[in-house]
Structure 1
Amino acid sequence: MKDAEVEMAHAATGPAVGFLYPGHSAEDDYPRLESMLSSDIRLPLVHTDIGEDAHRVDALLEMGSATRLAAGVAELKVRGAQAVVWACTSASFVFGWEGAQEQVRELSQTAAIPASSTSFAFAHAVRALGADRVAIAATYPEDVAEHFTAFLKAAGAEVVAMCGSGIITAAEVGTWGREEVLRLARAGDHPDAQAVLLPDTALHTAAYLTDLETELGKPVLTANQVTVWEGLRILDRPLARPNLGTLFTTA
């Protein structure tokens, strides 16, 4: 049996949310999250060509272009994806609220299935938690993080604090472990924030979700976590999983 036929046979075994993931950094969070879901839902992932690995607005606009996203759609469809999420925050929010909406509209039209992105995943997750005031703990340079602040404000959230870490490349972010992630979250927290957001999908967080919320004593939303949650939401297959944080237990 050919590889494509094997994939199609596997695709028939259950529902699947597909993810378009830029480059290589923390993509191993997705099989980990799939395992943590303990369900029949599969999370196939296809890498997109990122061009230049840089948290810089011009590079991010190119990274999130319709052409780059469209290139991975066919493989996800072969692998049985019934919904697709652009698993990148920065290369969606830099387009602004309207531009990010157009990005997912084009992706949905190309794939002929429901689509979303990590930026909208954060907006929907914040709303689902009922968190009016949030803090942002970003790996990005502050000028890029300001675009995420503006995006959340357009979604109706009040950003009470924002800190950027000045990291330029996803490759560097992908090397961070538990201590760096916890340090980032602590640095970004604020007493008035009802939730803390860690917006980079290049950051490994799946293994630390419980630790993060225990450390801060409040809901913590991380990029790969909310991306999977968003995929389940648009697939209309919500799951309650305490090991995946407050979002998966109360939203």
Structure 2
Amino acid sequence: MPPPTIASLSTAKKLGIIVPSTNTAVETMTISLLASLQANIIPIFTRTRVLTLGADAATQAQFTPSAFITAAQLLADAAPDAIIWNGTSGMFVNGASLAADQALAKTMTDACGGITCTTNTLATIAALEHFDIKDVSIAVPYTPEITQRVNEFFTKSGYTVHNTVRLDETPPTNADIGAVDAETIKDLVRRSVTPQTKAVLVACTNFPATPLADELEKELGVVVLDSIAVSAWYGLKLLGVKGTGEKMKEWGRLLSSL
């Protein structure tokens, strides 16, 4: 591997990334894949408080527009070229819909003086459109109720969900989700695939399927859209990055497709 490219503080593109506070996967995976790209890009991270993942009122109250605005404005102080909420709440919060996430992105953009803001949910839809895929399966580590909400989000958004699978036992905390081993994740993705499946959505930004996508795609013959990779891909797209093919081929079809 060539020596790492050191991003220039004066000329680098900057991608602002909002991370759930209990997430342990986004920063390390994003930094690793950017190292593969060897590009003049600086990732800038901030966090918003997310302690639980469930359908209860306390959990749902974590994902308010005001919380995202506060986090986005902290990133805006560093003048990034784009900002992304790197969490999947738009797929399962009360009233989750594509229109709701589009409205959130606009609200954040307006609050940040016009800096383009988006979400992982919108990035996932963009990735499916990029491959012109409507037939999906879903693989997640969530509770049964949250898993069902994710299924309903994609069904309402016009996708055919052929299978939805979750871990046999939901990890008790978000930190425990981040510690799930690679073989367990690969088994979950394998179990989600049907003959009709064209893409598997690994819809959780703390479920580290990112380095497994290329292996699973070659084995299963489907696109694997890991949420961390999806956010990184969409962020790079917003920054105008092109020609990722050879540099990022080991990260799967999506990241090597710009």
How far 1:119 moved relative to its partner?
0.9
Q: Which amino acid aligns with 1:228?
A: A
Q: How does 1:45-56 map to 2 (within 5 A)?
A: 45-50=45-50, 52-56=51-55
Once residues 105 and 52 of structure 2 are traced to their aligned partners in structure 1, the CA distance between those partners, rounded to angstroms, is 22
What residue in structure 1 maps to residue 124 of structure 2? Answer: 122
Aligned AA (1:225): A
**What's the TM-score once normalised by structure 1's chain length?**
0.87
Matched, 1:107 2:98: no
Q: Could you tell me which residue of structure 2 aligns to residue 155 of structure 1? A: 157
Say whether 1:214 aligns with 2:222: no
Aligned to 1:17: 15
Which has the larger helix fraction? 1
Can you list the C-alpha shifts for 1:31-67, whole angstroms capped at 9, x where unaligned? 11221222112222111112x3223353443222122
In structure 1, the residue matched to 2:29 is 29
Contact residue 211 and residue 251 of structure 2 kept, 8 A: no
Please list, as runs of the form range in 1=range in 2, the aligned pairs for 1:100-249 lying within 5 A after superposition. 100-112=101-113, 113-165=115-167, 166-240=170-244, 241-249=248-256
- Displacement of 1:227: 0.6
Cα distance in 1 for partners of 2:243, 2:159 equals 25
- Aligned-partner Cα distance in 2 for 1:47–1:245: 27
| 8 Å CA contact 1:25, 1:203 repeated in 2 | no
| Structure-to-structure mapping, 1:37-116, within 5 angstroms | 37-50=37-50, 52-56=51-55, 58-91=57-90, 93-94=92-93, 95-112=96-113, 113-116=115-118
Alpha-carbon deviation of 1:226? 0.2
Structure 1 residue 219 displacement after superposition: 1.2
Shift of 1:92: 5.1
Check the 8 A contact 2:91/2:153 in 1, yes or no: no
Is the contact made by 1:83 and 1:115 (CA closer than 8 Å) also made in structure 2? Answer: yes
TM-score by length of 2: 0.85
5+ residue gaps, structure 1: 1-8
Q: Is 1:55–1:141's contact at 8 Å kept on the other side of the alignment?
A: yes
SS of 1:249's equivalent in the other structure is: coil
In the alignment, structure 2 segments of 5+ residues that lack a partner are 1-6
Distance change in 2, residues 1:92/1:115 (3 Å): farther
Aligned residue pair count: 242
TM-aligned CA distance change 1:205 to 1:11, over 3 Å: farther
- RMSD between superposed Cα atoms in Å: 2.2
| Contact 1:53/1:170 (8 A) holds in 2 | yes
Residue 248 of structure 1 aligns to a residue whose secondary structure is: coil
